[in-house]
């Protein structure tokens, strides 16, 4: 993917590259912010939301439609930049960012609809189609501008990634490279905000002061290319709307029946997704859960979405994770590696169940980085952030959950973080060793305290929810899964240490940790000289199968 300065109408000169690559790269800093070391989550989110308000996604014939589209749209409005990508169906799209929201409104006013058809009811949406020119082609002056990204949402090819990881000279470089090559990129983030904006536009006419915000891995800095999109729909009253001195007040429809009124409204949301949200497919309603959600797939952007109502504590949790990730440049690469390793050894799983998920796993990494060792610690306790909160940091989420903590990391004294200077390789090994000897039977993991605390019950794995301390975020994890976690961290520590000695091999450094077991076993098969039988042998293994010895493989083949 190429990132180029595209000339005069473009304001990329103003873009900044954050210290080390991160999802905040390519965001503009206001001149008053230049001296700031850290941007706040709110600042990043409001820039992204604003960007989405000024952007459109247009389906085109191919990548070479760029010139024509650029010429056509620049007749109406000034363009900041155009990104190209393809969806799973191989269809081509261009995300266009305009200079102002007014520009975009002007374009939308001028859009046509499909030919009059009984089964189509037109609706303004930021997802458009660029119709081939009928009749005489207008002359379009060639532009000196070029696409900012080509094929911008393609994930890196796994074989290429392994090759690049194999040629790194240190394990720390491998961990950094894995992060750089697999993190959710700028276009991935833009598209997620476009999907949120599309819902907002449709719901705006039905609910006052509606907002649809991404949360979870799409915005917390721990998302990889292709990650799911968690969305929260909220319609909180503004202070102005709830001002008791106002004499004219809306007549409002009272919801009747049902467990919570929002369950009924979420049913409507499900219907709207099916009827009015272009690109939304496979809509599933899961309305009887503690947090009712509607799931759908967005086929124009290849994004799987989970939409819930008013889960603002989830948004504040994402903010907290984002802040921890931005405090020190080692936090995100280390977490990416751990998440990737857990998926490779089958500790995490795409389907819900009795296993650990990425969110509690991330809290485990943060907790490890809070430990005060001889080398010092890297992250502050959550208690420290709560104690430093000011009036401007007060946030109370639904069900009175107190989400108040220091937001502006520039106010955090230097001695509160990054005291330990160890490299990523050392930290990874220490992570595995730390949890290999952790007393899971007696102790709970609490990022509030930053040190192990006594477990309040006998659940196998106890990870305190920092915003709701009475809750365990890993209450679903079974005894067997917790045992497997202990076994796998021991294996990983051993494997990493053993792999650092002697010659570089296929499994060198982190490669042995992040490759799926099934593919590792297949590689071994190739080495024992049975490549001609691979097709049928492939079915002998599953991803979770223990690391098999070469003798074991030979006996399976007999
Ligand atoms: N969350 C929470 N409490 C939980 C579970 C989730 O507050 N017990 C919030 C967190 O902010 C989390 C978000 O909901 O990041 C989304 O949860 P989930 O999709 O499970 O995790 P992600 O961080 O999005 O990771 P993934 O990439 O696996 O989706
Ligand atoms: Mg998620």
Element (H, E) at 320: helix 312-327
Ligand 1 atom 12: residue of nearest CA: 216
Tokens representing residue 105 in the block: 């409104």
Tell me if 44 sits within 8 A of 24, measured CB to CB. yes
Cα 252 to ligand 2 centre (Å) = 34
- pLDDT level of residue 498 (50, 70, 90 thresholds): confident
Separation CA 423–CA 431 (nearest Å): 12
pLDDT of the residue at 111? 86
pLDDT of the residue at 131? 87
Place of tokens 């994930």: 155
For the complex shown, is ipTM > 0.90?
yes
Which atom belonging to ligand 1 lies closest to the Cα atom of 306?
A: 19
Is 50 exceeded by the pLDDT of residue 536? no
Ligand 1 atom 8: residue of nearest CA: 473
DSSP label of 127: E
If one residue of 182, 183, 216, 318 were mutated to test the ligand 1 pocket, choosing by the most ligand atoms within 8 A of its CB, it would be 216
- pLDDT level of residue 239 (50, 70, 90 thresholds): confident
Tell me if 81 sits within 8 A of 97, measured CB to CB. yes
Beta-strand pair 15-16/79-86: unpaired
Ligand 1 atom 28: residue of nearest CA: 358
Cα 28 to ligand 2 centre (Å) = 26
Is 60 exceeded by the pLDDT of residue 24? no
Which atom belonging to ligand 1 lies closest to the Cα atom of 362?
A: 23
pLDDT higher at 463 or 533: 463
* Cα 46 off chain centre by: 17
- pLDDT level of residue 558 (50, 70, 90 thresholds): very low
Task: Name every protein residue with a CB atom under 6 angstroms from any ligand 1 atom.
Answer: 215-217, 220, 223, 227-228, 230, 313-314, 317-318, 357-359, 473
Mean pLDDT of 47-74: 94
Separation CA 97–CA 11 (nearest Å): 11
Separation CA 319–CA 313 (nearest Å): 10
Is 60 exceeded by the pLDDT of residue 120? yes
Is 80 exceeded by the pLDDT of residue 504? no
- pLDDT level of residue 461 (50, 70, 90 thresholds): very high
CA distances from 277 to 288, 312, 386 (A): 23, 24, 40
Tell me if 83 sits within 8 A of 149, measured CB to CB. yes
If one residue of 325, 359, 445, 459 were mutated to test the ligand 1 pocket, choosing by the most ligand atoms within 8 A of its CB, it would be 359
Is 60 exceeded by the pLDDT of residue 122? yes
pLDDT of the residue at 555? 61
Which atom belonging to ligand 1 lies closest to the Cα atom of 220?
A: 15
pLDDT higher at 317 or 28: 317
Comparing C-alpha atoms, which of 462, 226, 488 is closest to residue 341?
488
Separation CA 548–CA 558 (nearest Å): 15
- pLDDT level of residue 550 (50, 70, 90 thresholds): low
Which atom belonging to ligand 1 lies closest to the Cα atom of 348?
A: 28
Mean pLDDT of 244-256: 86
Tokens representing residue 467 in the block: 């915003």
pLDDT of the residue at 62? 93
3-class DSSP state for residue 404? coil
pLDDT of the residue at 266? 93
Tell me if 356 sits within 8 A of 485, measured CB to CB. yes
Is 50 exceeded by the pLDDT of residue 79? yes
The overall average pLDDT reported for the chain is: 86
Tell me if 464 sits within 8 A of 448, measured CB to CB. yes
Cα 173 to ligand 1 centre (Å) = 28
* Cα 543 off chain centre by: 24
Is 50 exceeded by the pLDDT of residue 174? yes
Tell me if 411 sits within 8 A of 477, measured CB to CB. no
Separation CA 270–CA 266 (nearest Å): 6
Separation CA 149–CA 137 (nearest Å): 27
Ligand 1 atom 13: residue of nearest CA: 216
Is 80 exceeded by the pLDDT of residue 14? no
Which atom belonging to ligand 1 lies closest to the Cα atom of 317?
A: 11
- pLDDT level of residue 124 (50, 70, 90 thresholds): confident
Separation CA 265–CA 168 (nearest Å): 52
CA distances from 442 to 380, 439, 466, 467 (A): 24, 6, 19, 22
pLDDT of the residue at 289? 82
Cα 250 to ligand 2 centre (Å) = 37
pTM over 0.90, yes/no: no
Which atom belonging to ligand 1 lies closest to the Cα atom of 358?
A: 28
Q: Up-side HSE of residue 85: CA atoms within 13 Å toward CB?
A: 22
- pLDDT level of residue 533 (50, 70, 90 thresholds): very low
Q: Torsions phi, psi of 456, nearest 5? A: -80, -15
Ligand nearest to the CA of 475: 1
Ligand nearest to the CA of 312: 1
Cα 217 to ligand 1 centre (Å) = 7
Cα 367 to ligand 1 centre (Å) = 17
Separation CA 304–CA 462 (nearest Å): 29
Cα 302 to ligand 2 centre (Å) = 15
Q: State the CB neighbour count (10 A cutoff) for residue 362.
A: 24
Q: Torsions phi, psi of 60, nearest 5? A: -130, 175
pLDDT of the residue at 258? 56
Ligand nearest to the CA of 355: 1
pLDDT of the residue at 524? 59
pLDDT of the residue at 240? 87
Is 80 exceeded by the pLDDT of residue 517? no
Cα 9 to ligand 2 centre (Å) = 36
pLDDT of the residue at 28? 56
- pLDDT level of residue 130 (50, 70, 90 thresholds): very high
pLDDT of the residue at 235? 87
Q: State the CB neighbour count (10 A cutoff) for residue 99.
A: 15
Comparing C-alpha atoms, which of 79, 83, 74, 63 is closest to residue 142?
74
- Residues with Cβ < 8 Å from 259, sequence gap 6 or more? none
Residue ranges with strand state E in 290-329: 293-298, 303-309
What confidence tens digit (pLDDT) does each residue in 263-299 have?
A: 889 999 999 999 999 999 999 999 988 788 999 999 9
């Amino acid at each position: 993917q190429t990132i180029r300065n595209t000339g005069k109408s473009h304001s990329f000169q103003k873009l900044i590259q954050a210290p080390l690559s991160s999802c905040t790269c390519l965001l503009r800093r206001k001149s008053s912010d230049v001296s700031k070391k850290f941007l706040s989550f709110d600042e990043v989110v409001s820039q992204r939301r604003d960007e989405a308000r000024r952007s459109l996604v247009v389906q085109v014939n191919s990548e070479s439609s760029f010139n024509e589209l650029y010429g056509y749209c620049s007749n109406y409005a000034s363009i900041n930049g155009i990104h190209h990508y393809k969806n799973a169906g191989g269809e081509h799209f261009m995300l266009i960012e305009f200079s102002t929201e007014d520009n975009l409104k002007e374009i939308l006013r001028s859009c046509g609809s499909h030919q009059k058809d009984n089964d189509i009811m037109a609706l303004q949406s930021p997802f458009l189609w660029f119709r081939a020119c009928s009749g005489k082609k207008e002359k379009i002056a060639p532009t000196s501008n070029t696409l900012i990204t080509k094929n911008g949402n393609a994930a890196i090819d796994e074989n290429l990634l392994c090759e690049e990881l194999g040629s790194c000279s240190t394990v720390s470089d491998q961990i950094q490279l894995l992060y750089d090559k697999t993190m959710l990129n700028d276009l991935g983030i833009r598209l997620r905000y476009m999907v949120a904006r599309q819902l907002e536009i449709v719901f705006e006419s039905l609910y006052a002061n509606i907002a649809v915000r991404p949360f979870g891995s799409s915005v917390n800095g721990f998302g990889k290319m292709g990650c799911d999109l968690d969305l929260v729909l909220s319609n909180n009253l503004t202070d102005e709307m709830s001002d008791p001195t106002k004499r004219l007040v809306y007549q409002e429809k009272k919801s009747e029946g049902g467990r919570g009124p929002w369950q009924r409204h979420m049913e409507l949301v499900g219907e709207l997704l099916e009827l009015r949200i272009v690109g939304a497919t496979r809509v599933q309603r899961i309305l009887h859960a503690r947090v009712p959600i509607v799931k759908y797939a967005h086929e124009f952007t290849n994004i799987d979405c989970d939409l819930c109502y008013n889960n603002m504590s989830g948004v504040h949790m994402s903010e907290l994770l984002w802040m921890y990730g931005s405090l020190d440049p080692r936090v995100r690469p280390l977490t990416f590696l751990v998440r990737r390793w857990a998926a490779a050894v089958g500790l995490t799983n795409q389907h819900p169940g009795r296993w650990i998920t990425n969110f509690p796993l991330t809290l485990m990494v943060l907790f490890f980085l809070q430990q005060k060792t001889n080398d010092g610690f890297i992250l502050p306790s959550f208690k420290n952030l709560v104690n430093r909160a000011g009036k401007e940091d007060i946030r109370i989420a639904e069900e009175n959950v107190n989400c108040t903590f220091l937001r502006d990391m520039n106010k955090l004294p230097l001695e509160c973080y990054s005291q330990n200077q160890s490299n990523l390789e050392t930290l990874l090994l220490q992570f595995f060793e730390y949890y290999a000897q952790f007393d899971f039977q007696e102790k709970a993991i609490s990022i509030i305290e930053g040190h192990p605390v006594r477990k309040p019950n006998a659940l196998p794995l106890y990870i305190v929810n920092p915003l709701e301390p009475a809750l365990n975020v890993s209450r679903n994890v079974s005894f067997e899964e917790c045992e497997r976690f202990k076994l796998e961290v021991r294996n990983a520590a051993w494997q990493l240490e053993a792999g650092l000695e002697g010659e570089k091999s296929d499994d060198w450094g982190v490669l042995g940790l992040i490759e799926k077991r099934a593919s590792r076993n297949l590689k071994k098969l190739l080495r024992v000289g049975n490549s001609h039988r691979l097709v049928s042998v492939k079915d002998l293994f599953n991803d979770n199968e223990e690391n098999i010895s070469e003798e074991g493989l030979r006996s399976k083949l007999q």
